Structures are given as C-alpha cells and as structure tokens.
C-alpha cells in the first residue's frame, strides 16, 4: 500500500477534525470558498478519467460494508466521515484501489487519534482573530435540524461560540464513552476559522514540517531500501482500470489489449462529473471512437491481445489453475486447423468472446439460486451438492457446439446480405426490424393464410387467397398449421386497416424482439436438412416458424386481465423465482416490466394465466401456467386462453405402448435401444409476437413476456410435435431407425448388420399395407393398415449401415448426434440411457431379448406410496387425489393387465365428483368398491419381479361361440356341440341384454376350463359389441354386467387361460340358435356344466 503524501495527510487531518452535523456541509463550503478567494482567480473544474470515476463509484457503493470491517476501532461518526473524505482523496491522487484507499484512510485516522491522545490538545485549534480572512465570505443559510430542535436549553450562536473557544469542543467526541471524546474534533462554529487557517498556512507547514509530519503519522515499510525497480520498461501498457477489471474477474473487450490501444493513454479520457457530498456521479462514458469488437480485430492483433490478456491475469495474481485453463483455450484458438479461413477465424474470435463473457459474468439467476439454496431447509449435503452445480465451467473446454452455431449464424447473415437486392417475396425476412410497423402488421395479418395447393409447393413458397378474411383453423395440405407469412408484395393486395388486428393499428405497438441467444434450434440447419431429405413439402412451415414464430391461435384480449395465482405457487415463491430467473437467463422471457402499462405499450392489452407448481421426480418443480382457468367462467370472469384453442388442429404422432411393442417384436432379440430426452422441449419453440398477449407472466408485481411455447397451452404437445415428427422423419431418411417419440422422450433402435435385410423386408411389407395419406384424430397423426392398426411412420426409408456403426450394429450415437447438431436439437445428456437390450421408456422397462415389460422399481414404489397415502387419509377424499391415483394405476395396467378390472371404483368416484364442479374440493366418501380394488393392487405391486410378456403364444381357435337373448337366455357352441341355459321366468324380458351377453361369455369360459383348456390363449366369438369393448377395457358402466366381467377375469387368472374375445356378425354366430332355445340340426349337446351359485340365480336347469 502506498502511503499518502505529507500535504495530503495534513489536509485530511483538518478535514477529519471538522465536525459533522447539520452545519458541517455549509461550514466546509465556507472554508473552501475562503481558500479559493485567498488563492486568487477561480481554477478550472477537475477532469477525471473513466477509470477514476468507476473506482469512485465502487468506493461509494461499498464504503459502508468496508467500514464495518473496522468496527473493532470504534470509529466515531466524525471519524467515519473523515475516513470517507480522505479515501476519496487518496483514490483520486495516489492511484490506489477503492478498498486499499479506505484502509489507508482508516490507518491515518487511527494514527491521528493516537497523536491527539499523546499531545492532549486539538491538532487544529481555532485561529486567532488576527488570522481571519478579511474577504467577505458568503454564508449559507443554516437549515433546521429536527434532532437539534428536540434538545432542551438550546443556547444562542454567540454563547455557543464563546464556549467553543473556551472549552475547545462541544461535539460528540471520537467515540461513545471514550476518554478522549473532548479532544477528537473542533467545535461546530469554529470549523470555518480552523479550516481557513489550515488553508492559509498549508504552504508553510508543508515546507517546514514535511518529513517530521510524515514520520509522525505512520511508519512506511512498504518499500525496501536499496532494492532496484524490477519492472521492465515497455511503451505498451495495459490501461490501469482495465488491469483492475481483470483482477476482479470482470469481462473486458480484447481491444484494450491490442498494441495500438496500449500505446495510447486511455486512462485520461475526459468525463463530466456531478459532485454532491460523498457522491460522484458519472454523466457520460462512451467507448473510444476507434473501438473494435473482438471479431473485427485483425488476426495478428487478436492473437497478441489474447496473450496479453492472459499475461495480465498472471500479473494480477489470478489463480494459476485459471490462467493455465485459459492458456490452453488460447492455444486451441490460435492453432485451429481452419484458422486461415476468414469465416472460421471470425467465428473463432466470436467464440473466444463468448467463452470470456460467459465465464466472467455471474448472472442474477446464479445469485438468486445461491440465496434460495442457502435459505432452503435442505441438509448440508444437499446444499453442497446444489451449490456445486452452480460452479463455473472449465474455460479450457472448447465450445464446439457454440462454434458451429456461430458459423451457421454467419452463413445466414452472409446469405441475407447476398439476397438483399432480390424482391422480398423471394427471400426470408425474420422478425427483427422494429422500424417498420406497417410491414410487420402485414406479416401478422397474413398469418395462417388458407393454403390449398393442388400439388406440393416448394419450400418457402407463398400462396394467396382471394378472401380477405383470416381463419386460424386453416391447414396446409399436410395438416400442419401455417405460420406468419411474408408481407404482401405487389402481386397481393395489402390488407385494409379494418382487417388488421386492433393492437397493430396502434402505432405504439412494438413488441420486443427475441434475444439472439434465446433459441437453440437452427433455422438454416432445418431448412437444409428438410431439403436434403426431401421433406420440405411435408413440413413447409418449420423454417418460417423458427424465424418469425409459431401462431397457435391465441387471440389478443380486448382489455387486460391479470389472474390470481394458485396456492402451489404462492406457497413456494422461491421456486417460482428460480424458474423465472432461469427463463430470464435463457432469454426466453422479455422483461421484467414494472407495470401493466409498460407491457401494454409494447403489445397492447394482455391476459395472464394463474401460476402453479408441479413437482418433478428429480425433486425440482415444473412451472404451470394454467391457461385453462377458469374452467367454467362466470359472467364476471374472462374466458381462459385454452377455451379458444383447438387441439385437433395440431396433430402429432404418439409412440404408444402398442407401437413400441409391435416395433420390438419386428426386431431381432439382439437389437439395442438408446433413450434420450429433449431439453426443455416446449421452450425450444418460438411463438409469433401476435401470441404474446396471451402468454404474459405476472409475479410479485413484475411482468414478463413469454416469447416461447409454454407448458399448459392446449396445443403445446402438437405444436412441439410438429418439430419432433420432422426430426424423427429426418433421422429415418438418413437410415436411422426404427425410432419414435412420446412428446420429448425419444427412443432409437439399432440391429446387427446381419439382420438388416430381414428388417427391411418386414418394413416393406408394412408399407404395402398402409394408407398413403395419414389420418388425424383428436390430436394424433397415424397411418392405418388394413387390420386397423395405427402406425407412427409410413416406412418409406430402409434402415441403413451408417458411418458411426460399431460393435457389429448398423449405427452409433454419433450418427444421431450428427443430425441433431445441425438442427440445434438439444438433448438432456444427463438423462441419456446408452445402447442396451433392457431400457426404460415411457415409465416402463422393456426387455428386447425376452419380449417382456415391467414397472421400474421407482414407479412401483411410487404407486404403493400413493395408495398408502390414500388409505392414511381415511375414507373421505378429494377429487384431485382420486384423479392422481387413477392415473398411476391406469399406467400400471400395461403391466398388470387384470388391473383394468380393479379401477372402476375410482372411476365412479371421479365421475360423481366431477358432476358438481362447485364442490370439486369437497371431501367425499370413497364407497365400498375402492378399498377392495386397492387391496388387489397392493398385492400385485408388491411383486417386485413381476413382468409380463408382450409376445404371447397366438390364440388357439377352438370354434367357440357365445350369445344371449332376453327372451330366452344364453347359448354356447363349441366345436360342433352346443348347450342352452334358459333364464328364470321372472327375469325374461326384464334383464339388460348386456348382462345376458356377459353371462353367456362366462359360461363359455367355464366350459373351456371343463374341457381341459389351460395355460393357453383361446379365441371366443361374440356378436355383442358392448361386451367386446368392455372386456377389452376391463369395465362396463352397467353394474351387473361389470360384475360378470370381473368374475371372468378371476377365472382367467385362476385357471391360467387367456381369452381372446373377437367380434362376429350375428348371422355368423353359431350360438345364436341355442340362445333362442332351438337346436342346430347338425350339432350335438355339450356335457352338463356344474353351475356355480353366481349363475343359478340367473338360470334354471339347462336342457
């Protein structure tokens, strides 16, 4: 630390002894004015460098915290004031940093305190009358101090001054209760005199007592006698304030380290200041006029700069580990094999800046996340684990993906420049130019233009319509919704003002542009891949959707409506803040905006949705924007966003349980699967600005414009599915497959190369059976075959041997990565499940080799815990709890097939509770059925090794038919033999036909068991559509018929027989005659059947 000069110490001594109170500022101003008048003409105002201003601002912002570090010295108010004033002087004259200047000032104040104690007198006594400045000094009017008014027995100014001259002090003293309190400062009214004296005598004091004062104030041991200056002279010096930024780990542009910059004196750039008390305000601070961005530097200057920047880090004692990491990164940049390519070199310089900026800046999200973690009730171990995740990345790790994105962006920009002279209709214009609202209004007006070409159109081609009306429900030929089209050209008529949305007619409507770093998908990559694979006609809207945004049909409200949030969000505000901070740091939210008016000025009237939180399996939360609230709006409530959206307009493929089982059965048992999740899937899809009025987020009085697809929007799955389907088709076109997805869960299969011919023959056979045009139903797209099976692809492309083939298989993960990287398709790599024959997908574990499926232990235990929680709550429950439990058990029925017969109690509970929406939160009695069903489920879920085969032995055809009639009874026909069972007389004509049909099926099953069928799957034919459907679902609405179906399920389990019930026309049902009490001439009778009591109440003795 450099000690201040003798002149500075003496000046600061007088300042430190000056009192602090209501009149302190006025008295100090009087002293300064007197000194100025005595010195002569008014001097020019001080001019400070940008570095000095920045350091002064740091001192101002941190002085309170830094002074608290010296609380052991019990600095009085006067001493603290003097310390701060002295620190500013040291900072602006000695070249110290703000913290060092403050520490030096404290040291000097303490030295002065000790000297005052030793001398026993004031260091700056009041000046005698003969020494007063005779030039009149304009005095300021004293302001009344409310604190002084409260003091009783206030004396006149004259009396106070007399007492001050007599006693030397009437201030608080240097410390509360200290023995030197009467000697630490001058009186409030003698301050101007002593200051004037000090100003008048400063020259003589500095000349005569410089060395003495210096030695008495502090001992200087910061330099070594006889030691030579070890620094090497160099005319290229990094500006001081830049070196200090490097020391603090802040981001600095490389221009400051170039040779031309280092030769100049950039520390002396003038800045205008406004000085008020202890505050120095910076008025202007512009970049130097010759400033260049990192990517604009010549390569030689760039290489020089990154080396000098690294050396500066080393000189400023940055950790060796950090310096070594940046050294490696610099080497990778300078020795890149394509550095002599101008485009690549520009990209390298951009990526260097990106790496430095990302490493240097601690975002608000990280700070808030740290605060939330510290305040959380987690264990120390979990806190440490979460804090570990927030540590900065390794700067030596080369950001390959970011470099590729930069290259893509540069190529797109170059293409835009090359096509600048072309007509607008032939080039793409992304939504970025805010200067022409009329042009943008036209673009929004042309959104969702009806498009019905007679043949597929080239990518990017626009079609026009003679009708000026807009219909958000229109599709392109492939069934995918259109996005915002280009502004009208000379070939199309411009929309009238009346047809433009009201918010666009407002000249103030100027939505904020998307941040360039917000979107990870690469539009040019998609355009290239779709064109290369010939899929641009199937997905013509993707390129524009990525550039302009997707229009999912949200209509802007006529007035602003702000909803109240759900309790799940208000109970965990810290979790909501974390998610909002993440969205802000990802640049998917624009804002925050402090008021609704600020948002309305940008996008017009808007509507917010209530926020809620849903816990995820990993312990985190998913933010839910309840776009369906209110579900049943009253006359005073605004309709929900989802109420105006049509999900059916956004169909997508669903890789269902049946699809994946059929796919695995077509693969050899040695095949392998790789499962991947898309990162924040919906949040990758940008929305068109016209949609933003419906996606605004309000939280704690701040507003955020969500510019991307949100979880909770009705069409969200289908809108994301548009891109997920395109990605899957691109992979298939390259020979990767089979593959499919369930929302963001993707599974890829690979097979031994030797099995490829058989697999491709099977795919060709399937292709020949499919309808050429895909069908769409309730948000699902599929290709249907002759047997009504639904497929997720049309099998156009064969599976191929790819460059990444490994281990004898046809492909590797590198083949998938090659496609996804060109598209910017982001994978959640922590969830990657590498190639294996046993894999988990959609919450189920599949075994390709054994053709079996089971529940993962985590799921199984989770479902048992939910049942235990239900039972612990007694016999009364809410609708939400029943819905949660039902969803879990329905998922489990894919493994425990008989579980479909043990969920009816929950279904009845939910049906009853849902009939009264106003009482949806009321506790209801569970009834008799639910406890019985849950007992069955607990037994099944306790089987930790249970699995079922999805490749059963084909059902055996045994010529078995059953039928029933209310006029007579039930009939059965098996292999040329038959038997009839007449209803009891009081039931004929009065019983439900579905019940009689179900009873006939039960009798048929009993006969098959009697005839010796077990450990087999057997076909039974029935002409009852309700019974066939209910048997497949496992339940029937009619209570009596449902009870019969449950008994049949018990028979199957007890006798290890699996019934394959198939529908047959009535005229082809061989049991039709016996069910009416008539014989078939060519049939014999079946042996008598021991009828159980459950059937005797329905039938008399058979004939």
For 77-90, write each residue's pLDDT tens digit.
888 888 988 888 88
User: Cα 233 vs. chain centroid, distance in angstroms?
Assistant: 51
User: From CA 275, how far away is CA 280, in angstroms rounded?
Assistant: 5
Query: How high does pLDDT run on average in the chain?
Result: 77
- Does the pLDDT of residue 40 top 50, yes or no? no
Please write the tens of the pLDDT for every residue from 647-693. Answer: 889 999 999 999 999 999 999 999 999 999 999 899 999 999 999 99
Bridge partners (DSSP) of residue 612 are 624
Q: Which residues contact 6 (CB under 8 A, 6 or more apart)?
A: 206, 209, 210, 211, 213, 214, 217
Q: What band does 215 get if pLDDT is binned at 50, 70 and 90?
A: very low
Which residues, in sequence order, are bridge partners of residue 782?
A: 775
The helix or strand, by DSSP H or E, that contains position 53, with its residue range, turns out to be helix 50-68
**Residue 863 near residue 892 (C-beta atoms within 8 A):** yes
The mean pLDDT of 509-522, rounded to a whole number, is 82
Q: Is the pLDDT of residue 541 over 60?
A: yes
pLDDT at 995: 92
pLDDT over 50 (residue 844): yes
- pLDDT of the residue at 162: 44
| Residue pair 206/10 in contact by the 8 Å Cβ criterion | yes
Closest-CA residue to 652 (of 841, 846, 478, 427): 478
Under DSSP, is residue 336 helix (H, G, I), strand (E, B) or coil? coil
What are the angstrom distances between the C-alpha of 92 and each of 89, 220, 403, 860?
5, 20, 43, 70
CB neighbours of 760 closer than 8 A, spacing ≥ 6?
798, 799
pLDDT digits (tens, 9 = 90+) for 9-21: 434 433 434 433 4
What would the two tokens of residue 397 be? 């790790």
* Token duo for residue 222: 């910061």
Tens digit of each residue's pLDDT (9 = 90 or more) over 435-479? 333 333 333 333 333 333 333 333 333 333 333 232 333 322 233
Higher pLDDT, 245 or 918: 245
The model's confidence at residue 825, banded by pLDDT at 50, 70 and 90, is very high
Q: Which of 640, 679, 167 is nearest to 401 (CA)?
A: 679
Question: How many Cα atoms sit within 13 Å of 551 on the Cβ side?
Answer: 26
The tokens of 428 are what?
Answer: 């793409």
| Strands laid side by side in the 844-847 sheet | 838-841, 844-847, 852-854, 948-949
- pLDDT band of residue 131 (cuts 50, 70, 90) is very low
Residue 721 to residues 379, 652, 780, Cα–Cα distance (Å):
40, 5, 10
Cis peptide before 630 (omega within 30 of 0): yes
Cα torsion for 895, 898, 904, 905, to the nearest 10°? -90
Residue listed under structure tokens 């994946």:
660
222-236, 359-373, 517-531, range with greatest mean pLDDT: 517-531
Confidence of residue 809 (pLDDT cuts 50, 70, 90): very high
Question: pLDDT band at residue 581, thresholds of 50, 70 and 90?
Answer: very high
Residue 910's nearest CA partner among 949, 878, 866, 872 is 878
Q: Shortest CA distance to 1011 belongs to which of 1089, 1096, 1091, 1095?
A: 1089
The rounded distance, in Å, linking the Cα atoms of 326 and 318 is 11
- 467 or 69, greater pLDDT: 69
Give pLDDT, residue 301: 85
Six-digit token string for 185: 């400062």
Give the confidence band of 150 by pLDDT, cuts at 50, 70, 90: very low
pLDDT of residue 384: 81
Residues β-bridged to residue 510: none
pLDDT of residue 1062: 92
444, two tokens:
């929004």
Q: Which pLDDT value is given to residue 360?
A: 81
Q: Which of 497-511, 517-531, 846-860, 1056-1070 has the lowest mean pLDDT?
A: 497-511
> What would the 3-class secondary structure string for 183-245 be?
HCCCCCCCHHHHHHHHHHHHHHHHHHHHHHHHHHHCCCCCCCCCCCCCCCCCCCCCCHHHHHH
| Residues forming beta bridges with residue 854, ordered by sequence position | 845
What one-character-per-residue DSSP string does 741-797 give?
EETTEEEEEE-BGGGHHHHHHHHHHHHHHS-SSPEEETTEEEEE-TT--EES----S
Question: Highest mean pLDDT: which of 489-493, 507-511, 801-805?
Answer: 801-805
Q: Which of 801, 605, 795 is nearest to 703 (CA)?
A: 605
How many other C-beta atoms lie within 10 A of the C-beta of residue 807?
A: 10
- The least confident of 309-313, 407-411, 692-696, 928-932 is 407-411
Burial class (CB in 10 A: 0-12, 13-18, 19+), 490: exposed
**pLDDT computed for residue 45 by the predictor:** 54
Q: Over the stretch 1067-1081, which tens digit does the pLDDT of each residue have?
A: 899 999 999 888 777
Tokens of 858: 């985590």
334: Cβ contacts below 8 Å, ≥ 6 apart:
303, 306
What percentage of the chain has pLDDT greater than the value 70? Answer: 73
pLDDT value of residue 124: 66
The answer to whether the pTM exceeds 0.75 is: no
Q: How many CB atoms lie within 10 A of CB 925?
A: 11
Q: Distance between CA 668 and CA 848 in Å, rounded?
A: 8
C-alpha 57: how far from chain center: 35
Q: Indicate whether 886 pLDDT > 70.
A: yes
1076 and 965 in contact (C-beta within 8 Å)?
yes
pLDDT of 974: 92
Greatest Cα-to-Cα distance within the chain, rounded to the nearest angstrom? 148
Contacts 24+ apart (CB under 8 A), 459-464: 459/527, 459/530, 459/531, 459/536, 459/537, 459/540, 459/543, 460/428, 460/540, 460/543, 460/544, 461/540, 462/425, 462/486, 464/491, 464/492
DSSP 710: -
Report the distance separating Cα 653 and Cα 790, nearest Å: 10
Cα–Cα nearest to 199, from 28, 440, 433, 427: 28
Of the chain, the percentage scoring pLDDT greater than 90 comes to: 37
Tokens 């926020």 -> residue: 611
Give the DSSP letter string of 87-113: HHHHHHHH---HHHHHHHHHHHHHHHH
Assess contact for 847 and 838: CB atoms under 8 A.
yes
Work out whether strand 780-784 and strand 702-706 pair parallel, antiparallel, or are unpaired.
Answer: unpaired
What confidence tens digit (pLDDT) does each residue in 328-374 have? 999 999 888 888 777 889 999 999 999 898 888 765 556 667 777 87
Are residues 605 and 559 in contact, defined by beta-carbon separation less than 8 angstroms?
Answer: yes
For residue 513, name the pLDDT band (cuts at 50, 70, 90): confident
């Amino acid at each position: 630390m450099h000690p201040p000069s003798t002149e500075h110490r003496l000046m600061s001594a007088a300042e430190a002894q000056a009192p602090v109170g209501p009149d302190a500022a006025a008295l100090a101003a009087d002293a300064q004015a007197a000194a100025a008048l005595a010195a002569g003409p008014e001097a020019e105002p001080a001019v400070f460098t940008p570095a000095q201003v920045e350091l002064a601002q740091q001192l101002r912002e941190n002085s309170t915290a830094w002074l608290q570090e010296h609380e052991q010295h019990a600095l009085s108010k006067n001493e603290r004031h003097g310390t701060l004033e002295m620190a500013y002087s040291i900072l602006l004259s000695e070249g110290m940093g703000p913290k060092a200047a403050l520490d030096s000032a404290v040291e000097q104040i303490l030295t002065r305190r000790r000297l005052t104690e030793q001398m026993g007198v004031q260091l700056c006594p009041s000046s005698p009358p003969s020494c007063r400045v005779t030039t009149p000094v304009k005095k300021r009017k004293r302001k009344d101090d409310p604190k002084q008014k409260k003091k009783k027995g206030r004396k006149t100014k004259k009396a106070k001054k007399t007492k001050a001259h007599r006693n030397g002090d009437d201030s608080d003293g240097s410390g509360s209760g200290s023995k030197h309190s009467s000697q630490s400062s001058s009186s409030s009214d003698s301050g101007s005199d002593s200051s004037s004296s000090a100003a008048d005598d400063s020259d003589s004091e500095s000349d005569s007592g410089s060395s003495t004062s210096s030695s008495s104030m502090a001992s200087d041991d910061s330099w070594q006698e006889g030691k030579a200056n070890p620094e090497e002279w160099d005319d290229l010096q990094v500006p001081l304030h830049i070196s200090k930024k490097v020391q603090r780990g802040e981001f600095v542009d490389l221009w400051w380290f170039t040779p031309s910059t280092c030769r100049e004196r950039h520390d002396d750039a003038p800045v205008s200041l406004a000085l008020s008390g202890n505050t120095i305000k910076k008025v202007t601070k512009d970049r130097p006029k010759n400033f260049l961005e990192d990517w604009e530097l010549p390569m030689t200057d760039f290489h020089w700069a990154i080396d000098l920047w690294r050396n500066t880090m080393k000189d400023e004692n940055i950790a060796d580990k950090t310096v070594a990491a940046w050294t490696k990164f610099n080497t990778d940049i300078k020795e890149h094999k394509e550095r002599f390519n101008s485009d690549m070199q520009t990209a390298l310089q951009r990526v260097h800046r990106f790496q430095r900026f990302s490493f240097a800046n601690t975002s608000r999200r990280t700070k808030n996340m740290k605060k939330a973690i510290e305040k959380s009730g987690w264990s120390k171990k979990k806190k440490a684990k979460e804090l570990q995740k927030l540590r900065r990345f390794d700067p030596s790790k080369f950001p390959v993906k970011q470099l590729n994105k930069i290259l893509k962006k540069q190529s797109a920009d170059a293409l835009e420049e090359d096509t600048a002279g072309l007509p607008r209709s032939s080039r793409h214009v992304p939504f970025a130019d805010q200067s022409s609202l009329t042009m943008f209004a036209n673009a929004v007006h042309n959104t969702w233009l009806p498009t019905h070409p007679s043949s597929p159109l080239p990518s990017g081609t626009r079609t026009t319509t003679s009708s000026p009306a807009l219909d958000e429900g229109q599709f392109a030929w492939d069934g995918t919704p259109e996005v915002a089209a280009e502004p009208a050209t000379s070939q199309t008529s411009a929309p009238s003002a009346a047809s433009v949305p009201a918010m666009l007619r407002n000249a103030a409507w100027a939505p904020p542009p998307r941040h360039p770093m917000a979107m990870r998908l690469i539009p040019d990559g998609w355009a290239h891949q779709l064109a290369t694979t010939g899929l641009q006609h199937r997905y013509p809207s993707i390129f524009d959707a990525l550039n302009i945004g997707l229009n999912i049909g949200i209509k802007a409200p006529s007035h602003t409506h702000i909803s109240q949030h759900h309790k799940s969000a208000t109970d965990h505000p810290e979790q909501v803040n974390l998610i909002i901070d993440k969205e802000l740091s990802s640049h998917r939210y624009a804002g925050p905006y402090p008021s609704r008016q600020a948002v309305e000025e940008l996008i017009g009237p808007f509507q917010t949705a209530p926020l809620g939180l849903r816990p995820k399996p990993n312990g985190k939360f998913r933010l839910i924007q309840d776009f369906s609230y209110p579900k049943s709006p009253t006359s005073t409530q605004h309709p929900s966003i989802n109420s105006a959206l049509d999900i059916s307009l956004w169909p997508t493929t669903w890789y269902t349980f049946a699809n994946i089982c059929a796919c695995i059965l077509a693969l050899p048992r040695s095949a392998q699967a790789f499962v991947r999740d898309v990162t924040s899937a919906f949040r990758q899809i940008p929305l068109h600005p016209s949609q933003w009025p419906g996606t605004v987020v309000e939280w704690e009085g701040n507003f955020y414009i969500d510019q991307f697809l949100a979880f909770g929007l009705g069409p969200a799955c289908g809108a994301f599915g548009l891109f997920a389907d395109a990605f899957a088709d691109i992979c298939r076109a390259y020979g990767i497959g089979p593959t499919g997805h369930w929302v963001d869960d993707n599974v890829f299969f690979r097979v031994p190369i030797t099995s490829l011919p058989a697999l491709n023959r099977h795919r060709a056979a399937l292709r020949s059976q499919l309808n050429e045009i895909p069908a769409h139903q309730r948000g699902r797209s599929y290709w249907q075959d002759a047997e009504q099976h639904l497929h997720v692809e049309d099998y156009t492309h064969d599976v191929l041997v790819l460059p990444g083939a490994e281990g004898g298989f046809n492909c590797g993960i590198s083949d998938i990565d090659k496609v996804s990287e060109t598209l910017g398709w982001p994978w959640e790599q922590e969830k990657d499940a590498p190639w294996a024959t046993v894999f988990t997908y959609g919450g189920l574990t599949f075994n390709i080799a054994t053709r079996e499926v089971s529940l993962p232990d985590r799921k199984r235990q989770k479902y048992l815990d939910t049942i235990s929680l239900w039972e612990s709550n007694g016999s009364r429950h809410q609708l939400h709890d029943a819905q949660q439990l039902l969803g879990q058990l329905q998922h489990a029925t894919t493994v425990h097939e008989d579980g479909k017969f043990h969920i009816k109690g929950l279904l009845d509970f939910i049906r009853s509770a849902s009939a009264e929406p106003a009482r949806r939160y009321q506790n209801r009695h569970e009834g008799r059925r639910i406890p019985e069903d849950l007992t069955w489920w607990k037994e099944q879920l306790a089987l930790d090794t249970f699995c079922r085969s999805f490749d059963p032995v084909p059902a055996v055809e045994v010529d078995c038919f059953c039928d029933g009639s209310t006029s007579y009874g039930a009939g059965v026909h098996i292999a040329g033999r038959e038997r009839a069972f007449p209803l009891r007389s009081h039931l004929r004509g009065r019983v439900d036909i579905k019940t009689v049909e179900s009873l006939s099926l039960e009798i048929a099953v009993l006969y098959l068991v009697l005839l010796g069928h077990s450990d087999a799957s057997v076909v039974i034919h029935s002409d009852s559509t309700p019974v066939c459907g209910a048997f497949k679902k496992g339940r029937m609405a009619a209570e009596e018929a449902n009870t019969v179906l449950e008994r049949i399920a018990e028979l199957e389990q007890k006798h290890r027989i699996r019934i394959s019930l198939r529908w047959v026309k009535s005229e082809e049902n061989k049991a039709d005659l016996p069910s009416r009490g008539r014989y078939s001439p060519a049939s014999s009778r079946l042996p008598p059947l021991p009828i159980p009591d459950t059937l005797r109440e329905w039938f008399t003795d058979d004939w």
